[in-house]
Each structure stands twice: as C-alpha cells, then as structure tokens.
Structure 1
Amino acid sequence: MENKKDEKILDKGPFYHGTKADLKIGDLLSAGFNSNYRSEVIMNHIYFTALENGAGLAAALAEGHGHDRIYIVEPTGIFENDPNVTDKKFPGNPTRSFRSTEPLKIMGELKDWIRLSDEELQNWKEGIAKLRENPDAEIIN
C-alpha cells in the first residue's frame, strides 16, 4: 500500500477497527459519519489501527448502545498515517494509527482483547468531554 504522498507505508497490519456496530464479514466501513469525539463533525476519513488495544479503546469510546467490537479490516485503497495522533502527539506513528477516504472491508472479528478498566474508561471519557467543551480543539478531518 502507498500513502497519499506516494511514500511506502511500512505497516502491513493486520488492521483493526473498534466500534459498537454489529457488522458481518464482507461489509464495508466508510467515511461520512459523525465523529465519536465531536458528534457535530462528519468525518471525511475512516480510521483504523494495527494495535488491538487501540481498536479496543475506539470501541469503548464509540457512540451507540451495542457491545464493544473489534473488527479485522482490510483497506480497499490508499491510506495514510492518522495526523490527529502522529503529527500532534506521537511523531513516527508508534500508535500505528491510520485513516483512509476509501472503505475498509470487514475480514473478521477479534473476540478476545484486553479491555479498559472502568477507571481507565472514565478517564478517557472525561478527556473527550473536555475536548468537546473546547471549541478551539481541532480534529484534523
């Protein structure tokens, strides 16, 4: 795979997407839905990671009433490092976080992963609430 700058992406996966949505193998995840971090923002990209725990965090923070789920996904097109974490917080992409304007194909579901404790989840939710309260906080979309 190549990113948008025609640089080789070194990470070959496997890749994961965390959500509360109930999906099936072969389904496609696409951009164009509300952000889990700023519900008024429609996302131009679909996000994914090569870290199970990163996808687990995304699932725990996702909007909705379903169960936390981690899907094994395959990008259907080009993708790039997620600038929300790699450029702002973790240069070099140690979080192995990516985004694409092209859909992700569901290849399977990961059933067993290390879940956040109630305290860890509460800390993350409080951080997200602070982000929502700050109109100057930017999500790179």
Structure 2
Amino acid sequence: MHMGDSTTYYHGTKADLAIGALIEPGRASNYGKRAPAKFVYLSATLDAAIWGAELAVGEGRGHVYIVEPTGPIEDDPNLTDKRFPGNPTKSYRSAHPFRVVGEIIGWEGHPPERLAEMRAHLEKLRQAGVEAIEE
C-alpha cells in the first residue's frame, strides 16, 4: 500500500545498528511483557520515532534510523484505532523487516518532564494490565 512512495520512514530504538542492517520482527518487544514481537514498527514522523528511541528498553542513548520497508506496511492499530483516529502520528507496522538506510544525528529529545509524564502513563497502563496489542 505504501511501497515505492517517497515517504521517509523512521524507527527509534536503543539498538546500535549499521547502515544496511535489517530490523526484523521476532526480537523481544520494546514494550510490555517483552514477548517476541510479530511486527516491526516505523513512523513517517520524526517525533514518533524520537519517542520510540527515548522509551525503548535498554541502556545507552536512543537512535533514530531512516528505514525502508521490504514488504507491505499497515497502520499501527495500537495508535490509530485507540488514541488517534486517522493515524496523524503516521505510525505503521509490518511483518516484514525494514532496512536501515540512514541515521538521524543530533535529534532533539523531549524535555525531561514530558518524558517522565509519558513513562508514568505507560507504567499506569502496565499496572492496569494493558499491553500493546500485537494482533
């Protein structure tokens, strides 16, 4: 559905990846109970990818990569159906790997207080037993 378009897609993570690396489903999820993910996630907005980089589980600094889907992508139902109808965050997922084609250097993180609010919000969801939906 989005193949071959000129959209730039981003993926935020704590993983340190080389250009040309594939980001594949099946690695432990960044969120929730860390079950193996069936999908990999990407966004066409830098802001959403920055949140991904900042909130990902793991040590070290976050990375924001420019990625290229290798197969079809679909709207991320966790964001589109629930919180943001119409997908304004331009968040997508795919069962196919993404290829890393570049890295954004020098991106601006969110202010510490916004980050703390978002972490508290995610923790509250976790305690309420709300997991990111995989299906």
Of 67, 70, 93, the match for 2:64: 70
CA distance in 2, matches of 1:138, 1:116: 24
**TM-score where L is the length of structure 1:** 0.88
The CA RMSD over aligned residues, in Å, is 1.5
SS in 2 for 1:131: helix
Q: Which runs of 5+ in 1 are unaligned?
A: 3-7
CA deviation after TM superposition for structure 1 residue 12, in Å: 4.3
Q: 2:114 maps to what in 1?
A: 120
Deviations along 1:7-57, one digit per CA (max 9) or x if unpaired, are x68x74200000111100000001112222213422110001011111000
CA distance in 1, matches of 2:122, 2:114: 13
**TM-score where L is the length of structure 2:** 0.92
Q: 2:103 maps to what in 1?
A: 109
CA distance in 1, matches of 2:33, 2:13: 15
Q: 1:139 maps to what in 2?
A: 132
Q: Name whichever of 99-108 and 33-42 sits farther off.
A: 33-42
Instruction: Give yes or no for contact 1:53–1:114 (8 Å, CA) kept in 2.
Output: no
Instruction: Give yes or no for contact 2:33–2:131 (8 Å, CA) kept in 1.
Output: no
SS in 2 for 1:57: helix
Aligned residues: 133
Q: Give the percent of matched residue pairs that are identical in Structure 1 and Structure 2.
A: 44
Which contiguous aligned blocks of 4+ residues in structure 1 show a shift greater than 3 angstroms?
Answer: none
CA deviation after TM superposition for structure 1 residue 75, in Å: 0.2
